[in-house]
């Protein structure tokens, strides 16, 4: 094990160096720019054998990923915000063609107004495109999930999007434990696709016209594969634990075993929430948090079983669906609870849009609200905007 101090973007680029993919097409966009920038230095000094393709747009970046993956290559890239939005057309093509591309999404607000700071509107805006989505609290989780994503994608034949918070995680330097190059190489193994365009022994077509007689069935196959990928994610996580000592599930629970009030929260904000939980526990308040790691596929039975005994829940969304009701995580998780006949008073908070700072005092306010709800069962307002100036 190698102890190091790296930013999130450096950690991801270092993982990519250890994976040594065949092709990396990329176009710069803040705050993901550093990933291809750091990785290109490994290409130029001969540390990796990767074909690095600087393209003219993010649409071209994912188009090149699709072509390279269809040809039989192991392919990776990175983007953020408007870049992911520009990839929109190609995201569906990548998943529909069942290409195991690994894409890092360094979460950033989607314009307008123009904003370069963190929220989850980019990845949440494409949550139905057919990519597996993994979310990361820290630099360590970003590094680990990128390595696991390669195996998850290639076993499920579904592209994987690894998401972490722009600037907060991407540019902040933290202590990190890296695996040896040989360990990562052995873990990901050699990519040997079953079907690919450059196979001289099999003549195939990819992405052909697919009309009424077959389109529906092919989309159902993708949906079934997404459902089945849950087992693959769990298996790969178990295998990773054996080489790293770091165990990942579909989610992380923090002090929820005896809690009455629980916060559900993604990515870096979970770290702040843990500090607040510890503080409130010292006051004798039974609070905890649940941090989803996997959002696609939505592990709805696992999440609802973990929340079953709570008396009140706050579901935190760093993105707004602008649907007149709630944020995306709240909509899906509340529907999941209903599907399992679990009735718990719950409240939604939209927070941190455009990088608005989320302080311990903000999250403490949320916890104290759900502690109150856990006692009287009354929800005055379902969706709330935390820290916004009215």
Specify whether the CB–CB gap between 159 and 103 falls below 8 A. yes
State whether 293 and 363 are in the same domain.
Answer: yes
State whether 360 and 323 are in the same domain.
Answer: yes
Averaged pLDDT score across all residues of the chain: 97
Domain around 356: 251-386
Tell me: the pLDDT tens digits for 330-370? 999 999 999 999 999 999 999 999 999 999 999 999 999 99
- Three-state secondary structure of 116-130: CCCCCHHHHHCCCCC
Which pLDDT score, from 0 to 100, does residue 390 have? 81
Rounded (10°) CA dihedral 285, 298, 240, 94: -150
Alpha-carbon distance values, 153 to 22, 161, 250 (Å)? 15, 10, 16
Which pLDDT score, from 0 to 100, does residue 376 have? 95
Percent of the chain residues topping a pLDDT of 90: 99
The domain boundary residue, chosen from 244, 260, 289: 244
The domain boundary residue, chosen from 229, 244, 259: 244
What does the block give as tokens for 7?
């930013």
Specify whether the CB–CB gap between 171 and 135 falls below 8 A. no
In the predicted model, what is the mean pLDDT of residues 261-280? Answer: 98
Phi, psi of 336 (to 5 degrees): -65, -40
Question: pLDDT at residue 285 above 90?
Answer: yes
State whether 160 and 282 are in the same domain.
Answer: no
Which pLDDT score, from 0 to 100, does residue 119 have? 98
Question: pLDDT at residue 1 above 90?
Answer: no
Does this model's pTM top 0.95?
yes
Percent of the chain residues topping a pLDDT of 70: 100
Instruction: Round to whole Å and give the CA distance between 310 and 361.
Output: 22
Instruction: Round to whole Å and give the CA distance between 371 and 267.
Output: 23
Tell me: the pLDDT tens digits for 224-242? 999 999 999 999 999 999 9
Q: How many CA atoms lie within 13 A of 210 on its CB side?
A: 13
State whether 114 and 132 are in the same domain.
Answer: yes
State whether 142 and 260 are in the same domain.
Answer: no
In the predicted model, what is the mean pLDDT of residues 35-48? Answer: 97
Tell me: the pLDDT tens digits for 204-219? 999 889 999 999 999 9
Domain of residue 342, CATH code: 3.40.50.920
State whether 366 and 264 are in the same domain.
Answer: yes
The domain boundary residue, chosen from 224, 244, 264: 244
């Amino acid at each position: 094990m190698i102890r190091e101090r790296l930013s999130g973007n450096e950690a991801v680029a270092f993982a990519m160096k250890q994976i040594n993919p065949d092709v990396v097409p990329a176009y710069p966009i803040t705050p993901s720019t550093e990933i291809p920038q750091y990785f290109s230095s490994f290409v130029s000094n001969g540390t990796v054998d990767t074909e690095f393709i600087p393209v003219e747009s993010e649409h071209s970046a994912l188009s090149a990923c699709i072509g390279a993956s269809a040809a039989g290559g192991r392919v990776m890239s990175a983007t953020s915000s408007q870049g992911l939005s520009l990839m929109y057309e190609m995201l569906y093509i990548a998943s529909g063609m069942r290409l195991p591309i690994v894409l890092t999404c360094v979460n950033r607000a989607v314009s307008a107004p123009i904003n370069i700071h963190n929220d989850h509107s980019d990845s949440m805006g494409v949550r139905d495109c057919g990519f597996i989505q993994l979310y990361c609290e820290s630099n360590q989780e970003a590094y680990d999930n990128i390595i696991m994503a390669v195996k998850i994608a290639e076993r499920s034949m579904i592209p994987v999007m690894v998401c972490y918070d722009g600037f907060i995680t991407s540019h902040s330097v933290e202590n990190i434990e890296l695996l040896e190059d040989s360990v990562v190489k052995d873990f990901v193994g050699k990519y040997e696709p079953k079907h690919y365009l450059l196979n001289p022994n099999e003549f195939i077509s990819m992405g052909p016209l697919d009309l009424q007689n077959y389109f529906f069935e092919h989309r159902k196959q993708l949906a079934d594969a997404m459902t089945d990928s849950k087992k693959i994610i769990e298996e790969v996580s178990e295998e990773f634990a054996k080489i790293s000592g770091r165990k990942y599930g579909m989610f992380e629970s923090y002090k929820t075993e005896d809690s009455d009030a629980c916060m559900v929260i993604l990515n870096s904000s979970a770290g702040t929430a843990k500090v607040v939980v510890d503080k409130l526990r010292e006051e004798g308040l039974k609070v905890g948090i649940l941090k989803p790691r996997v959002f696609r596929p939505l592990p709805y039975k696992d999440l609802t079983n973990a929340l079953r005994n709570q008396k009140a829940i706050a579901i935190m969304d760093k993105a707004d669906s602008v649907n007149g009701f709630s944020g995306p995580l709240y909509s899906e998780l509340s529907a999941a609870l209903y599907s399992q006949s679990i009735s718990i008073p719950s409240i939604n908070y939209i927070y941190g849009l455009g990088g608005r700072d989320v302080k311990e005092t903000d999250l403490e306010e949320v916890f104290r609200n759900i502690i109150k709800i856990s006692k009287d069962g009354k929800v005055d307002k379902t969706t709330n905007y935390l820290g916004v100036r009215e």
